[in-house]
Structure 1
Amino acid sequence: MSIHDLEPQETYSLYAHEESVIRQAESMLGKLDDVANGVRVLAQAYREGYRETVRLVRISDRMQEELHAANRTLLDQAADLQQLNEVLHKEIERREALEHELRRIASLDELTGTHTRRHVLELGEHEQRRRARHGHDLALLMVDLDHFKRVNDGFGHAAGDQVLRDFGFLLRSCLRKGDIAGRFGGEEFLAILPETDLATARSIAERLCDRVRENRTLWKDHVLAVTVSIGLVTVHGDESLDKAIARADQALYLAKRAGRDQVMVGTEPDVDD
């Protein structure tokens, strides 16, 4: 092959190569435009995303402030509710104490400090049911102040009240813990002695007689003395409280007929009763 033969081919080859390079360059420039457009799109998206992020952050900050404010409000309300609850709790305790005191006052005879007739009977029924369940002893004392009318007639009802007040104290002091005493009416009293046999009940009744006999009530310039008569019974079998009280009252009547200032044991209940 001669040199002349090669030259046209080389010229053609360089030209073709140049054209190829130009086309590639143009293609790359086109791609760069695409990249630039993509960058612009990304930049725009970033700006919009940033603005949205800022907006959301601001909303979040505002919501956080509102949440803090709401939390403070709730804490304040909780403190108020706690304070109100304490006030209500104290008020409930005060009312319960007042109701308890009112029940206590309603169940007690103000003058003598013993139970009222109604309450002593309620307590007596309770002890009677307990006796029936467990089979233990139960004794009753029916007590009456002797010649009490003479005190009222001779010195006035205020003097009689003082005698009753002193007797109520003596009666309660002679009884044991768990024993029950109530004013049955006027100058008559009922004492209920749970789990007490006849001998023990009689000893308590005799001691009460002695204490009352020895006692003196000072009234103005006078010294007042009284005695008591006592009817004593123990409850038998399925005998009701009313029937046992009736037997004690009958024994009290016999004690007064026998001269007063003494203890009289009641008769046994009739079998038919």
Structure 2
Amino acid sequence: MEDEASATNLQRLRWLGPLVVVLNALHVLVFLVLLLGSPAGDAAYRWKLGLLLVHTTMGLGALACTWGAQQLRHRHRGLPGRWLGWVAAAWILACAVAIVSLDQWVTPNISPFLIACLGVGLAIYLRPLPAAGLYVAAYLVFYPVIGWTQHTPELLLSNRLNGITACMMGWALSVLLWRKFTTIALQRRQLEKAHTELQHKQKELERLTRQDGLTGLFNRNTFVELSRSELKRAQRQGSATTILLLDLDHFKRINDTWGHPAGDAVLRHVATLASTTVRSTDLVGRLGGEEFIVLLPNTSVEAGRKLAEKLRLRLEGSPVPWEATRIGVTASFGLASTTPEEKRDFDTLYTEADKALYLAKQRGRNRVV
């Protein structure tokens, strides 16, 4: 919370600092003009000269705070970034005390001190307990300093009491705005956390709707959608596309013999083997049950047959470890291919590949047709 408050304080100093500099420059210009036509030595002259010096000092301080806030805009988490807001608040209150003390030569009001107390509470986020210390320190300076120039006991007592009110009002405003700031900051954090969690859940939902839950491959709907897009791209680019279907041989026997957990392990093994055998540009999906499908972009039927044979041999040569045994796995493959001139769509290719797969099963399984 302290870091967020520091970042906001630095931002406000960058915005308000130039305004304070301009206002003090106007005061300096006004009092400089007034001094040129005033006789030296009287109280009015001392008042004008004193305010000229105070506003000059205040403007230089505001300029320094603005420069410091600009330098620290990316380092608000460090001590300099945190302390600059406190330095600016203390500087404003100190200058207000000086202005009010000088004003006592010509007027008994302490409006600048009240404005400064409220302005600090409004513009700079301060933690309540340290802020109370800051306002107490400001009043401890205000109390004796105002007595240097205000010698009427009744006015002095009134101003000192009004000074207490100004500090209390400034601190109360600071506490209220700090509580509002922390409440908003906490709500923003909760919203950001909820938004992040929602994004993660949305991505997970998208993954679940696009992928097969058991194997992590594309599910049927996603595979068909991607395949149709790929076929359109292949026709535009003038390249061949091949689809191969593979169906595990005697998969029901695996479930009946070793149970469905073993069957799930076999399916995951086949998915991993297929994904690592094909190219990164190829698409691998699970249609359901023990049936898988692979889309091979920019691949002729001869090249597709070689890849299918490679995958068939890898499956045959890598039995799945299960408990104290190893489960042998084979698959039958059916291929279908299209060229840009033929312009066959996915449904046509799938039907042809399915017929080829049926022939592979009829001819004894564990083969590519």
Q: TM-score, normalised by structure 1?
A: 0.69
Q: Give the one of 218, 223, 235 matched to 1:132.
A: 235
SS where residue 253 of structure 1 aligns? helix
Q: Which amino acid aligns with 2:235?
A: A
The offset of 1:211, in angstroms, is 0.5
Q: Deviations over 1:66-110 (max 9, x none)?
A: 222221349846676566545544443332233112211332223
Equivalent residue number for residue 71 of structure 1: 123
Q: Deviations over 1:183-209 (max 9, x none)?
A: 112111111112222232222111100
Equivalent runs, 1:105-254 vs 2, <5 Å: 105-236=208-339, 237-254=342-359
SS where residue 209 of structure 1 aligns? helix
Larger CA deviation: 113-122 vs 203-212: 113-122
CA contact (8 A) 1:229 1:262 kept: yes
* Alpha-carbon distance in structure 2 between the residues aligned to 1:85 and 1:95: 15
Q: Which amino acid aligns with 2:349?
A: A
Q: How many residues align?
A: 214
* Alpha-carbon distance in structure 2 between the residues aligned to 1:137 and 1:247: 16
Q: Give the one of 59, 63, 78 matched to 2:111.
A: 59
Q: Which amino acid aligns with 1:64?
A: A
Q: Deviations over 1:221-272 (max 9, x none)?
A: 33321211111111343321111111111111111122211111xxxxxxxx
SS where residue 243 of structure 1 aligns? helix
The offset of 1:159, in angstroms, is 2.3
* Alpha-carbon distance in structure 2 between the residues aligned to 1:135 and 1:80: 61
* Alpha-carbon distance in structure 1 between the residues aligned to 2:222 and 2:245: 16
CA contact (8 A) 1:144 1:189 kept: yes
SS where residue 99 of structure 1 aligns? helix
Q: Which structure ranks higher in relative contact order (CA pairs < 8 Å, sequence separation ≥ 6)?
A: 1
SS where residue 263 of structure 1 aligns? coil
SS where residue 140 of structure 1 aligns? strand
Q: TM-score, normalised by structure 2?
A: 0.52
* Alpha-carbon distance in structure 2 between the residues aligned to 1:184 and 1:171: 14
Q: Which amino acid aligns with 2:321?
A: L
Decide whether aligned partners of structure 1 residues 86 and 212 sit closer, same or farther in structure 2, where only a CA change above 3 A counts: same
SS where residue 205 of structure 2 aligns? helix
* Alpha-carbon distance in structure 2 between the residues aligned to 1:178 and 1:224: 30
Decide whether aligned partners of structure 1 residues 158 and 51 sit closer, same or farther in structure 2, where only a CA change above 3 A counts: closer
Equivalent runs, 1:72-91 vs 2, <5 Å: 72=124, 73=174, 76=178, 81=184, 84-85=187-188, 87-91=190-194
The offset of 1:51, in angstroms, is 9.2
The offset of 1:219, in angstroms, is 2.6
* Alpha-carbon distance in structure 2 between the residues aligned to 1:224 and 1:251: 26
SS where residue 275 of structure 2 aligns? helix
Q: Which amino acid aligns with 1:92?
A: H
- State the identity as a percent: 34
CA contact (8 A) 1:212 1:226 kept: yes
Point out the structure with max Rg over C-alpha.
1
The offset of 1:52, in angstroms, is 12
